[in-house]
Amino acid sequence: MTIQVTHRDRLAIITLNRPNRLNALDSPTRFALIEALDKAGADDDIRAVVLTGAGRAFCVGQDLGAAHELDDCYATVVKSYNPIVIAIVEMAKPVVAAVNGVAAGAGLGIVLACDVRIAAEGASFACGFNQIALVPDTAVSWFLVEELGYGRAFDLLTSGRRFSSREALEWRLLQTVVPDTDLTEEAERVASLLASGPATAIALTKRQLRATPQATLVEVLELEARNQDLAARHPDHLEGRAAFAEKRQPRWH
């Protein structure tokens, strides 16, 4: 199984599982990942997802050994890379990247698509694409410019420079860096915390934040108003207010 899924409490833990290929993505692995993400998104018992890699890498992007997949890059990207990004960003649940090792190429894009990014101290990152005369895909261009601005994005992409977890944290590509041995526990702790939160409000917040970069201020104000209306009508809001008034922890639906 190139993608392994385990369920723990209300978490789906999705592991890229080709450790002897540094979790490089071949076509079956990409489609299995899309399926695992879609299933987690549709499963009402799952409230948050952790995405990680087996072995010493998180994911080194396209399996360069599967050369035939590069014959029709447009189809490969549109049919199997883009849907991975879309499955993560459109999932109405938080997705936590637990970056256990090197993330390169599309592997970097997958990390950047996640809502929370936690990395092991020993993990590292590289863009990769230009070094084999390809261009960034898997939304790497979008996320790097969004998060770092044009200049640093251009430098990282064209130089191919490998950068550390510490640098990624400093540049705010990551939320947390932890000792290697603490990664799983920390990622699952953060995911569990999110899973125990008010699911609808968190899902609407995610949708709202994801829409913001493309929208005008006026559009964001309208979206906020509409989502606030939805959230305010949800039983979780009544519970939140009651818990606040009674000075107790809320019990979310």
Residue nearer to ligand T3D on the CB measure, 126 or 183: 126
Helices (H), the chain: 27-42, 73-76, 82-90, 106-113, 140-148, 150-159, 165-170, 183-195, 199-211, 217-233, 235-245
- Residues 6 or more apart whose Cβ sits within 8 Å of residue 63: 21, 24, 25, 26, 29, 69
Handedness of CA 133, 135, 137, 142 (dihedral sign): positive
Site mask for ligand T3D (CB under 6 A), range 152-171, x = bound: ----------x---------
Q: For residues 58 and 252, which CB has a smaller minimum distance to ligand T3D in the complex?
A: 58
CB of 36 to ligand T3D, least distance (A): 19
φ, ψ for residue 97, nearest 5 deg: -85, 125
Token look-up 């109405």 returns: 92
Regarding 23 and contact with ligand T3D (CB under 6 A), the answer is no
Residues 42-61 that bind ligand T3D (CB under 6 A): 60-61
Under the binding rule (CB under 6 A), the answer on residue 76 touching ligand T3D is yes
For the chain, how far is it from start to end, CA to CA, in angstroms? Answer: 34
Q: Which is nearer to ligand T3D, 12 or 153 (CB)?
A: 153
CA dist., res. 113 & res. 138, Å (int): 9
Residues 208-247 that bind ligand T3D (CB under 6 A): none
110 binds ligand T3D (CB under 6 A): no
d(CA 181, CA 253): 34
Backbone angles phi, psi at 56, to 5 degrees: -90, -5
Stretch that binds ligand T3D, among 132-140, 146-154, 191-199, 202-210 (CB under 6 A): 132-140
Tell me the β-bridge partners of 15.
4, 52
Question: Between residues 24 and 40, which has the closer beta carbon with respect to ligand T3D?
Answer: 24
Residue 179 phi/psi, 5-degree rounding, is -55, 145
Among 42, 70, 230, 232, binds ligand T3D (CB under 6 A): 70
Q: Which is nearer to ligand T3D, 138 or 227 (CB)?
A: 138
For residue 134, state whether it binds ligand T3D (rule: CB under 6 A). Answer: yes
Q: How many CA atoms lie within 13 A of 84 on its CB side?
A: 30
Q: Is 26 in the site for ligand T3D (CB under 6 A)?
A: no
Tokens, residue 158 = 């064209």
112 binds ligand T3D (CB under 6 A): no
Task: Give the residue with the Cβ less far from ligand T3D, 62 or 165.
Answer: 62
Q: Which of 10, 33, 49, 69 binds ligand T3D (CB under 6 A)?
A: 69
Residues that bind ligand T3D (CB under 6 A): 21-22, 24, 60-65, 69-70, 73, 76-77, 102, 104-106, 126, 128-129, 131-132, 134, 137, 162
